[in-house]
Structure formats: C-alpha cells, structure tokens
Structure 1
C-alpha cells in the first residue's frame, strides 16, 4: 500500500500552450483543496477553472483547470488530481516547487504512475508495456500495435491460455488428491487434448517471424557493396538529406550510419556500411567486420553494384546474398549526362547463394545521384516492409521477455504431454502456468518491475 503522494509533469517538457501536472496518492485531494483555497473537493471528474495559490505565501501561481479523480476510478486506482496550467517554463517550475514542499508529497519516479496502476489491479504488465510503446511509437503501424496491446488484447490472449491450463491443472491435482475417485487410466489422458490445444496455439504464436518485435524496433535494411558503388549517395537520397559523407575516395565510410524512415506507416532503419573489401587499415577493416555482422542480422539487404562492374558482384557482398536481397545497379544515368536509363540491366538475377540455394532476385537500375529509379525502389521497399511487418489477426508478440517466457511454457507443456504420470504432468503444467503468469504479472515478478517501469518517462 502506497502511503506517499507523488507528483510530476505529465506532459512534454518545454514551452507549450498547456501543461499537465498530475498528483496521485492519499494527499492528492487535500493538496488540491489547499491550492484552490477551499475546504471541499470539487465534484469528481468535473473540470474546475480557478486560480491556484501557494498555500504558504498565498502567491497566485496561475489560473488553471483542475480535475479530481476519486480512487479507485482513476488511472492509478488512487485519488488523482490533474492541474492543467499554462505551459510556460516559469509557471511549471513555480507549481512544481510549490508541490515539492507540501507535506506528504514527493516527485514521482520514472514509470511510477503506471506501476501503481498495475499494482492496484488497473492493468496487467502487457497493457503497461503497451502504454510505454504508445509513448515511444513513431509510425502509424507502431501506434496501432501499441493501442491494441494497451487495450488488453495481448493480456487477454495470455490469460485465456493461463485459465485453460489452470483448469487442466485442477483436474490433475484432484486426481492426485482423490485417487479413489480416479477415472480408469487416470485423468492425464482426459485433459491431454486441452493441453495439446494450448501447446499448439503457443507454438503458432511464437512462429510469427518476430513481426511484433521487429515492428517495435524497426525493419532493418542494410546497404552493402564494394567501395564507391554509391551506397552513401543512395542513403542520402532515401533520407532526403546529407546523412553520410560522399567522396570519390574509396573507404570514406568507416562505420555504420543509420537513418530512420517511415515507409507506408512502418518504421525502417536504413544502414549504410563500409565498402566490403580487404584493407590493411585497421579502422576500415573493423568497419567491414561490423558491416558484415550487421548485414547477417538484417531483415533486407540492398546490394549496390556499380554499372561499370555489372554483372560482376563484389565477392564479399555476394557471400551475403540470400532470398532477402535486392540488387541495385547504380550510376545508370550515363557518363554523357543524358540521364537515360540503361536497357542492358535485367529485371531478375538468377544465381546461387553462399549456402548453395538457387536464387532469383529482383534487379533495379538506379541513379543515386539524379534519383532515377529511386521511386521504384521505394515502392518495392514499402511492399517488402509491409509483407515483413503487417500482421492480421491476434496482436503479436512484442518483446523478447514474452518470447522467452512462452518458450519456457511450451517446453514444459511438451514434456507434460509425454507422460501419463499425474504428478509429473501436474508439475510441468504448473511451471507452464507460472511462465505465462510472468508475462502478465500474475505471479511474483517484483524483480521484473524495476526493469519494466524504469524505461518509462517521469510523469507516466
């Protein structure tokens, strides 16, 4: 039970028309009465426009809109007060300084409002994480996923699995505790169908190609190629700004340069890498090593080939080619300055991956310098990103924490399904229930709370 009252600026810092300062806890109502200079609280959930004054000095701090939310019908489940003040820095500082000296009040820690909401049963951990994602989202697709999670879709899915496993566990434990009432052959074969159904659903949920996690973090596209193929120029063209230094000197790009884009509402991280070649330069060699490692983990690779080198592909880049690769033949605007696209570049490339798999990859002629062909590239990228991240149906996995817990639950269920011994099956089902409970917060997860809510901003 929290006995202290917390306060913080809950809107963005900086100059604004309106700023929101939130209080939560047992002293919230009394503090509001002191600021308004009245003995009774305003009606709950009704906005009151009035001057707010420092209770000690009677200095008028601002004219504000105040709203009182009586617990438990509030965001945190406690008494909550919102002060909507003018968004000037001096006004905000004045109100916060006044609150800091009021008895029983202290500044909120990061994520403390949402943590209190969780602890007071207003939401589960997945919904709390959805709020954090909603605050951090940068694209429409991220917003849609965060809203669904915040609304409880993910938590409801996990709670359904948990409830079904609890029911099966109850039957198994009843069979153990009351053997005289046992069915012929034991209860385990009877509930095996229910356990197998949950096991299959968890497996399908896990086999999502990490779409939810990738949507949170951004679709990773790495640009590869030999030095001076035009990788940095392409990055600048896609970013519509000079994000990377462009030079005719080979090896100019030594480290990875990232640009964050919004393609069709989906988040994309575009990465320019060092030219792939052997070098005696220690720094450039390290850049090549990092480029290779980043490319191996990428969702999509853009291999840039100079038109003068086509159809020869740099050996280091060729080693990284697989089905998630697009070949780009750059500098097709022509040395004569006519700007005509070359007609000797095929639309498809047939070859073999380093793993020996036959491949047929799209080939696009482009000019990173003039922008020719780049619009077609963007359309293709948008299609690939949407295919990789768009997810119809139940809200997908969004965090590695969820995945690890569900993998653990799946392992326990797999083992439980292999035995007819009730005691062993019960223990495996119990462990599976616990793993799912870790995700929603239905078990003792105190060690997880500081990590989860520590990523929130102060005021939320």
Structure 2
C-alpha cells in the first residue's frame, strides 16, 4: 500500500494530565530532524536519557527519548517518542517546540494507526481490534480484541478468499481450455462441493457473530414489571448505590436507567424501565413504550412480580429469554411456586443466586472465545453479502459457468472489503475516527 505523507504529526499518547510520565509520539519525514534538534542523535530502538531543548536552545525537560526508523516502526515511517514529566506546562512547552518545525502539526484522532494501515503494517480488522483493545473494560473484551488485533480474523477471511479465487480460476480454466488434455475435465463438481463446505463455514461464522457482538457491546439485561414490583430497588442493589429513585408512587421511573456489571469477565448492561400498566399520562406512556422496545431487543429479560400483589404483564413482552422473579420475599410467608427465582432486596435473600444466574446466562451467550468472531455491523453485512453471492453460485445450476464464476468474484470482493484489501476508501474515516488522538 505504501503511502507517503509529507507532514510530520505529533500527539500526546499517554492520556490525561497531570501524570507521572507523558509520552509524546512523532511520525513522519521530519522526525529525524526534530530529534537531532531537540536532543541530538539517537541509536535506533534504544531508550536514552536526554535533555530536551527547543529550537532556541531553551531547556524544556529531561527524560527518555527513543527513535524507530521506518519502515520498522508502528506507522512504517520514522517515529520517535519523548518521555516527559507529566505536568501540563511541560507538555505544553514540548507541543509549542514541535509546532516550530516546518511541516509539523498535531495529529488527528486515529492518524497514527491510519498511517500504519496505509503503509501495510496491519489490515483493517487488526486496526479495529486495536481500537477495541484500547476500549476494553472486561477480560472477555480484552481477549477477543487481542485475537482480532493479532490478525487471526484477517487470516481466516484471507483463507476463504483464497479458496474463492482458486475455485473461480478452476472454473475459468475449464471454460478456456476445455479441449486441452492437461486440464481435468469437469472440475465443476469438485469445485461446487468445496464451495458448499465453505458456504457452511461462513454461515456458521455469521451465526456466531451474535456472540462477538455480546462480548464487544455487552450482554443486555432489561428489568420489567408492573409499577412497584421492585425494579428500581433491584437495580440499586446490583449497582451498590442509589442510581434509581425508589418510591411507593406508581410511575416514578419514566425513562431508561442503565448500569454496567462485570460478571465473570463479561460486560453485562442492566436497564431499569418504566412500570408496565394502563395509563393516560403521555410521558409515562412513552416510558412504557421504551421499556417494551428495549425488552424486545434484550438478550435477557428479568420479569419482576411483587409476591404480595403479582400482576401478569409478559403478554406485552416480545422476548423468548425471560427469568420470572418474585420480589419482596420478606413480606410473604406462604408457599410460593411458578418463579425461576425469589428475592428480597431488603434482606438480600436470593440476590447472590440471581447474580449467579445472570453470570451463567451471559457466559452461555458468549460461549468459549477460541475462534475470531465478527464484532462489527460492517463485518456482518459483508459476510452476509459474501454468503448470498456464494449461495447463488452454488444453487443456480442452470446459469452459465461465466455467471457462476462472477458470483464467486463478488463473494471474494465482499470478504476483501472486510480486511481492507479492496475498495474501502469510503469507510476509512469512520473506522479511524473511533481512535483516540495519539493512536
């Protein structure tokens, strides 16, 4: 890919100030000149303690400096790092000094990674995995992001694309050299058998994509119930603090309130919703509609029932993954049946068992993360497009071989767009804008 960028970019890559250390990263054709001016010559890939001076010789700070000559660097260009003391004045002085060099400017969000991609240091899926690794909050997110950023996903798609290109080549060879003795007759039967196996692999991968979405975006749990069923009390108990208003007055919760839990290394998003009931209030009615909509798109619904006054409302909920939970157990002394769990937020009875049930449900939904999974909407759309084209090539037996070969070419093209091997200029801005400045 090897693009050349005339401007040299720099940015603070180490996060919010003040801090113990601040890392200023530089990349571009002026890097070597900047280093020599600010701190003198450096040996490649060796950290050296140096004094940092501006172009007028004024001392900025004293710290470590490193030089990474291109193409053996993160971006593929000459790169450098200045490790400064993490004070705002120190960093501002270094930024001012760097601006004094012609052709040097502050980097935009994701620009270092975009240059690395443009210079062939990694593919588009690896770049997305790197962004996910930086944003990872749980262990499962970290492990999946590491797998993708390492290139495992790209290798899988590249192998499928190779199979498609080879199949197309065999079909076109049969078309072009049908009369030649060194071309095996009717290779089509063998090709279509192999393509059938590939289609099943891709379809299975697409089906597994939901697990990737859950790991990356979180396992979505929605609490529903009639007014005063104990929804907000349960949310506060799970959060360990008062995040929702608890009141005996019906209709108190009118908007969606969400908390994050880390259960067994999985990000679990729990949402409290408005109490479901017949109402004439316009605002409360909107809240109930939002509750039912969120429940319909949830991975798990916790349907709460006040055991002292259970009101059935599941007929309104479009979800097939529901846990029926009886609440306010401390107020009931008779035999109780018909519920998956019984809890009391006042005495904490049953809360541990309920959290364990949530953790088990989330673990079952994500499964074992041993294979690279699609984690983004564009992955799923392009994989589905490839699957449709491949299926058309296999099933349309009455079509001329030229047409079926074109189906295979289009399937290969869709896979290539995932990794950025073909025609992806329209999505580069979207992908790299998700990075922080300095990465």
Task: Provide TM-score, normalisation by structure 1.
Answer: 0.91
The CA RMSD measured in Å over matched residues stands at: 1.6
Aligned 8 A contact 1:263 1:382 in 2: yes
Q: Report the Cα distance in structure 2 between the residues aligned to 1:29 and 1:184, rounded to whole angstroms.
A: 58
Structure 2 residue 116 is matched with structure 1 residue 117? yes
- Residue aligning to 1:27: 30
Partner of 2:336: 345
Partner Cα distance (1:456, 1:209) in 2: 23
Counterpart contact for 1:188–1:425, Cα < 8 Å = no
**Do structure 1's residue 301 and structure 2's residue 301 form an aligned pair?**
yes
Match of 2:363 in 1: 386
Quote the residue 1:447 is aligned against: 426
Kindly state the Cα deviation for residue 390 of structure 1 after the two structures are TM-superposed: 2.8
Looking at structure 2, the residues matched to 323 and 281 of structure 1 have their Cα atoms a distance apart, in angstroms, of 29
Q: Which residue pairs with 2:409 in the alignment?
A: 430
Q: Which runs of 5+ in 1 are unaligned?
A: 335-340, 350-361
Unpaired segments of 5 or more residues in structure 2?
Answer: none
The answer to whether the 8 Å contact 2:209/2:380 transfers is: no
Distance between the aligned counterparts of 1:178 and 1:268, measured in 2?
A: 58
Is structure 2 residue 308 aligned with structure 1 residue 329? no
Which of 384, 389, 397 matches 1:412?
389
- 1:331–1:86 Cα change, 3 Å: same
Alignment of structure 1 residues 172-183 onto 2, 5 Å = 172-181=171-180
Q: How does 1:257-296 map to 2 (within 5 A)?
A: 257-296=257-296
| 2:299–2:321 contact (8 Å) kept in structure 1 | yes
Indicate conservation of the 8 Å contact 1:187/1:422, yes or no.
no
Distance between the aligned counterparts of 1:13 and 1:148, measured in 2? 28
Partner Cα distance (2:192, 2:324) in 1: 50
Which string of whole-angstrom CA distances, capped at 9 and with x for unpartnered residues, describes residues 16-49 of structure 1?
Answer: 101111001111111011101x3xx311100011
- What's the TM-score, normalizing by structure 2? 0.95
Aligned length: 433
* Aligned-residue offset at 1:392: 3.8
Q: Name the residue aligned to 1:314.
A: 312
Contact 1:186 1:422 in 2 (8 A): no
Asked if the contact 1:224/1:304 (under 8 Å) is kept, the reply is yes
Q: Distance in 1 between matches of 2:43 and 2:175?
A: 56
Shift of 1:342: 4.5
> d(CA) in 1 for partners of 2:111 and 2:79?
13
Alignment pair present for 1:137 and 2:136: yes
CA distance in 2, matches of 1:155, 1:187: 29
**1:371 is aligned to 2:362:** no
**Structure 2 match to 1:146:** 145
What's the secondary structure of 2:61's corresponding residue?
strand
Secondary structure of residue in 1 paired with 2:16? coil
Contact 1:124 1:441 in 2 (8 A): yes
Cα separation, 2, equivalents of 1:86 and 1:184: 70
